[in-house]
Amino acid sequence: MNKHIKLGLLLLVMIFASNLQAAEQYLKPEQFLAEAFADSTPKQQVFWVTRDIAKQAEKILGHAPNQLRQRYWKVDGKTAWIFDEIGKEEPITAGFVVSEGKIVLARVLTYRESRGGEVRYTAFLKQYLGAELQEDQHLNRNIDGISGATLSVNAMNRMVRLALYFDRMSRIEKVD
């Protein structure tokens, strides 16, 4: 093969490889649930996203929810939710625990973007502790952003709001 063609192919491979970002899995769902429910992980339940719930979820997310049912875990009034939401280009997988209408635990399970991974740090996530959902479906507090990670922060905010909303609705809707 011609030397220039080989060099060109090598250059193309390097360009594409540099744009690939391997997903960083920080916690497996089982590890998150073990942290959320220290005694024992409860049986998975299903929250059905009805038409009315989907309308509110769409207002929270800025897009229609991806599914008609959401899996969650519940023990003694404490619920755990795991969501995927697009940051800039790739989904962020995060888990949230809600108790008495407040966030008591927030964790990033998997981060797939090339930038903005600071949303996984405790210093950022602790801002959500105690956060509640207001009647207008916004949080009762401002969350400080991260320079260069605005879209990831926005995705986290949407997921927190959705966890709080689904928790509220799971208390009044029929669940399986």
Residue 8 lies in a domain: no
The number of distinct structural domains making up the chain is 1
| Angle, vertex CA 101, rays to CA 96 and CA 107, nearest 5 | 15
Q: Return the DSSP state at 42.
A: P
CA distance 85 to 43: 24
**Residue 9 lies inside a defined structural domain of this protein:** no
pLDDT of residue 35: 96
pLDDT at 19: 43
101-134 tens-digit pLDDT: 999 999 999 999 998 899 999 999 999 999 999 9
pLDDT above 70: residue 34 = yes
Residue 120 lies in domain:
22-170
Categorize the per-residue pLDDT at 173 as very low, low, confident or very high, splitting at 50, 70 and 90. Answer: low
Q: Is the pLDDT of residue 141 over 70?
A: yes
- The model's pLDDT over 61-74, given as tens digits with 9 standing for 90+, comes to 999 998 999 999 99
Q: Is 156 domain-assigned?
A: yes
Residue 41 lies in a domain: yes
**Among 2-6, 135-139, 168-172, whose mean pLDDT is lowest?**
2-6
Amino acid identity of 7? Answer: L
